[in-house]
Amino acid sequence: MPETIAPAVEVPIKDYRAPLRFWHWGNATLITLQLITILFQKVIVNSKSAVPEFQQALSKDNVTITQQQGRAFAHIISERIWDWHKYFGWAIVGFFVLRVILQLMGPSELRFTSRLMEIMRRYRLAPPADKGKAGKILFAKTTYALFYLFLTIMVVTGLILIYEDVSWLKGIHHLAEETHNVTMYLIIGFILIHVFGVVWAEISEDHGLISRMVGGDKVPKQAA
């Protein structure tokens, strides 16, 4: 039987299956919620900086509290926000495990590495005139590989921070905290590039991309 070879540049595997779409939007929502907890913790509430305000408010009723007592109040508020960060963190761990299961046991359309290999193959086979377009697709996929790396780092370091009382993890607590913090900025960078890239693709050459990621589409599309 003659073997059919896919055209070198075809919009790659746009049949976003339901599990992938569920994972994508669930994970995006949870990461947004995590970023919101940090926004509240570090900027909007920033309970540590409120200590002088606590002192001032209480002094109106002739109550004097020390810096240390003020910090104890602030700690209660910040712990409440961290609790939510941990709940969302556990949900992200759940989604991460789901992604690993899809990667290991799912059909090839759901496996990131199969999709990446396919796109690399198309890039290699692309005629010179199509190399630019194939290269853009490969670039987008490479940023996803980086995102999965950042997510893995977030999950591992987040778990190390949750289990801070485990004696053998104490030695790497500070490193985990710093790494967790820096990786957040890398994730924010990814989100900016990703959203810009998707909106750009939608309005320039891949109309309907966003609605396919929401509602799915069984018909693979040829690039214009």
Site residues for ligand HEM per CB under 6 A = 31, 34-35, 38, 82, 85-86, 89, 92-93, 154-155, 158-159, 161-162, 177, 180-181, 184, 187
Q: Which residues contact 120 (CB under 8 A, 6 or more apart)?
A: 138
Nearest CA to 17 among 212, 216, 214, 222?
Answer: 216
CB 99 within 8 A of CB 165: no
State the alpha helices, DSSP H only, in the chain: 18-39, 51-59, 67-105, 112-125, 131-162, 167-170, 173-204, 209-215
Using Cβ positions, the residue closest to ligand HEM within the complex turns out to be 158
Nearer to ligand HEM, 88 or 123 (CB): 88
Query: At its nearest, how many Å lie between ligand HEM and the CB of residue 36?
Result: 10
Amino acid identity, residue 125?
Answer: L
Which is nearer to ligand HEM, 74 or 92 (by Cβ)?
Answer: 92
| Between 180 and 221, CB nearer to ligand HEM | 180
Q: Which is nearer to ligand HEM, 142 or 181 (CB)?
A: 181
Who's near 16: CB < 8 A, 6+ residues apart?
24, 212, 213, 216, 217
Instruction: Report the alpha-carbon distance of residue 1 to residue 204 in Å, rounded.
Output: 38
